[in-house]
Structure formats: structure tokens, C-alpha cells
Amino acid sequence: MRLLVCGGAGFIGSTFTRLRLQDHGDEVTVLDKLTYAGREENFHDFAENPAFRFVLGAIEDREAVAAAIELAAPEAIVNFAAETHVDRSIAEPDAFVRTHALGTYVLLEAARESDLRYLQVSTDEVYGSIEVGTFTEESPLRPSSPYSATKTGADLLVESYFHTYGLPSVICRGSNNYGPYQYPEKLIPLMILNALHSDSLPVYGDGMQVRNWIHSTDFARAIGYVLEHGVPGEVYNAGGPEEEANIDVVRRIIELTGASESQIEHVTDRPGHDRRYSLSSEKVRALGWAPQVRFEEGLAATVEWYRDSSWWWEPIRSGDYRRYYERQYGRSLG
């Protein structure tokens, strides 16, 4: 296939791009604005592949989107582009509204004009928190944060383009991803790097919030199944095989890195913190997908990747991320 992958310089978008180039022989053009989370380093092992192209630009910029479509001549747009950190959405929601609402709209218009298939990458956070049971695609949408509310808005806009204009669109909602190339503001890479640097491990509140962990390669594969076999107008959830409380994830990381329990610090909880996410993946499993990476193995491999990849995280840890960390946690990184 020829694909335009928006947000392909980020964590999951670059994982998806690598998979499609290497395992499917697709032609992939990435359109990405390179925010703090988008990095050309994420292309390091496929940048020279002749089937890969990179266009610098924002999804809310009609001209940039038109130029990328002209260059890529894609059959489908896959949209990963987003502001993705809940804590940043609480501190500064502005970019979340612009990218998720306006950006998604511009891409949908471009897909409609050029007769393209469209896949929106979405999140289990649109369903809100669930104390008992599991969300299905029929569950009501009850987002809690500016991040999840604007992602929900984008999903509804995508559905409106299917109902109103017959745009052949699908939505794939993932649970919490982990794996190589994840920006260290997120729980797992933050805890791994802090553990390796003997920094404190900041657990929000009691640490008993539960997340449904999926390896990024499994989520990227699920998106591929939905792209190839999904029914237009439908939503597909892709959740990981295991759920775990944050404090237990942190304890696993302490064990894998040889850090100390005394590094754990319970800090002020996130406002409006969702207690638990849990996603049923029956519908995408019916398309042939199944997760392949168990959390225990995936986490150990992820710790090894960060241990061996200082070339990737050192520029982040010594740059703007330090200032973000000080603002968010009220203390400096070691």
C-alpha cells in the first residue's frame, strides 16, 4: 500500500512506519510537525529506505497536507498526529484543541477531496474510567481530561464524515502502550530512566490506578489489521493482554534495573485521575489480530532498550524535558 502516516515521527507512529516498511513492503510518507515528542532519530534504521519519505508540516496546515498528499499519492491516511500527554493537557490544553479538532478536520477534508481511506488512531481514554468490567466499542464516551475530551471530539468528527459524506473511515482505540522510542514523560520510560539515574520515582497518589498495557508493536499490528480488514464506519478497540496497578509496574522496574524501593516517592495525584482502564479486543481479534508480547517479557526488553540507547534519550534528558520535569514535579532531574 501507499500510506500517508501523520504523526509518524512519534513513538507509535514510527513503530507502525517501521513495521509497514519492513514487514509489508509498503510505501510510507510521514507528515509530522516535529513537536517535542516527534524526532527524526526515530527513523534512524529506515531513513535511507527508498520507500520512505518525510514531510515536515502540521496536520492543521491545509497546504502542508495537500503537498504531502501530492508527494505520497496515498491510498490511505493513517492519523497518529496528536498531543499525547495527559499532564500537559491539564497544564496547557491549547495545542490539544488545535491539533485534535482542527488538524483532524483538515485531514478528513483532504481525504474526502482525494477519495482516500482514513484511519484515526484513538485511545481507550475516550471511554473514561471503569472500576469493574471492561469497555467495548459500544460503551458510552465519557472522557475526563482535556487530552481525552479532544481525542473524543476528533473521533466524533471522523464518525460524522462517515455518516454524512460516506468517507471510508475507521477508528482504532488503543490502551496504554509501552516499548522503545517512548518519550520519557510517560510512566514506564520515566520510571526506567529515573531508576537508572538513581532519581526518585514519582508515583501519583496511592499508585493503585490500573492500566491495560500493550506493547507498541502489538498496537501497530492491530492498526494494520484494522486498516486492511476493518469495516468502514466501525470502531475497533485494541487492548493489551495484562492489567497492572502503577505501583506494581514501578516495583517491576525497580527489580529489572536494580534500583531501590526507597526511591519511590508518592507525590500529589493528577487532577481528575482516571482510576482504571480496561479494554475488550474481541472485535479486532475477529479480524485475525492477537497480542504477541506478554507484559513481563516486553517490559524486560524495554528496560534493556533504554539501558542500551543513551544515544536516543540523552539529548532529551539534557534538553527541554529537564524544564518540563521541574515544572511538573517541582524538583530537578539528577
**Would you call 138 a catalytic residue per the annotation?**
no
- If binding is defined by CB under 6 A, does position 66 make contact with ligand NAD? no
Choice between 27 and 125, CB closer to ligand DAU = 125
Interface ranges with ligand DAU (CB under 6 A): 84-86, 123-125, 175-176, 186-187, 190, 202-204, 209, 211, 246, 270, 277
Q: Which of 41, 72, 75, 76 is nearest to 57 (CA)?
A: 72
- 332: which strand partners? none
d(CA 311, CA 271): 34
- If binding is defined by CB under 6 A, does position 251 make contact with ligand NAD? no
- If binding is defined by CB under 6 A, does position 281 make contact with ligand NAD? no
**Stretches 5-13, 48-56, 135-143, 290-298: which one binds ligand NAD (CB under 6 A)?**
5-13
**Residue 146 CA to its chain's centroid (Å):** 16
- 215: which strand partners? 178
Choice between 64 and 95, CB closer to ligand DAU = 95
Query: Which three three-digit cell numbers place residue 307?
Result: 539501558
121-180 residues in contact with ligand NAD (CB under 6 A) are 121, 123, 151, 174, 176-177
CB of 250 to ligand DAU, least distance (A): 8
Residue 4 interacting partner from ligand DAU, ligand NAD, none (CB closer than 5 to 8 Å by kind)? none
188-207 residues in contact with ligand NAD (CB under 6 A) are none
Residue with cell 497546504: 63
**Would you call 147 a catalytic residue per the annotation?**
yes
Q: How many CA atoms lie within 13 A of 150 on its CB side?
A: 24
Q: How many CA atoms lie within 13 A of 196 on its CB side?
A: 19
Q: Which of 11, 9, 23 is nearest to 1 (CA)?
A: 23
- Alpha-helical segments (H) within 102-175: 104-114, 146-165
Judged by CB under 6 A, which of 3, 4, 11, 212 binds ligand NAD? 11
**Stretches 80-88, 259-267, 279-287, 315-323: which one binds ligand NAD (CB under 6 A)?**
80-88
d(CA 323, CA 130): 34
CB of 186 to ligand DAU, least distance (A): 4
Strands 76-79, 52-56: pairing is unpaired
**Stretches 46-54, 74-82, 191-199, 307-315: which one binds ligand NAD (CB under 6 A)?**
74-82
Terminal-to-terminal C-alpha distance of the chain: 46
d(CA 153, CA 333): 35
Amino acid at 313: W
Torsion sign, CA atoms 294, 297, 299, 305: negative
CB of 262 to ligand NAD, least distance (A): 29
- If binding is defined by CB under 6 A, does position 302 make contact with ligand NAD? no
Residue 13 interacting partner from ligand DAU, ligand NAD, none (CB closer than 5 to 8 Å by kind)? ligand NAD
15-44 residues in contact with ligand NAD (CB under 6 A) are 32-35, 37-38
**Would you call 36 a catalytic residue per the annotation?**
no
Q: Determine which one of 26, 125, 243, 244 is catalytic.
A: 125
Query: Which three three-digit cell numbers place residue 215?
Result: 506493547
- If binding is defined by CB under 6 A, does position 107 make contact with ligand NAD? no
d(CA 99, CA 279): 25
Whole-angstrom Cα Rg for the chain: 19
Q: Which of 37, 33, 35, 32 is nearest to 8 (CA)?
A: 32
Q: Determine which one of 118, 127, 147, 225 is catalytic.
A: 147
Residue 203 interacting partner from ligand NAD, ligand DAU, none (CB closer than 5 to 8 Å by kind)? ligand DAU
Q: Which residues bind ligand NAD (CB under 6 A)?
A: 6-7, 9-13, 32-35, 37-38, 58-60, 80-84, 99, 103, 121, 123, 151, 174, 176-177, 183
Which residues are designated catalytic? Answer: 124-125, 147
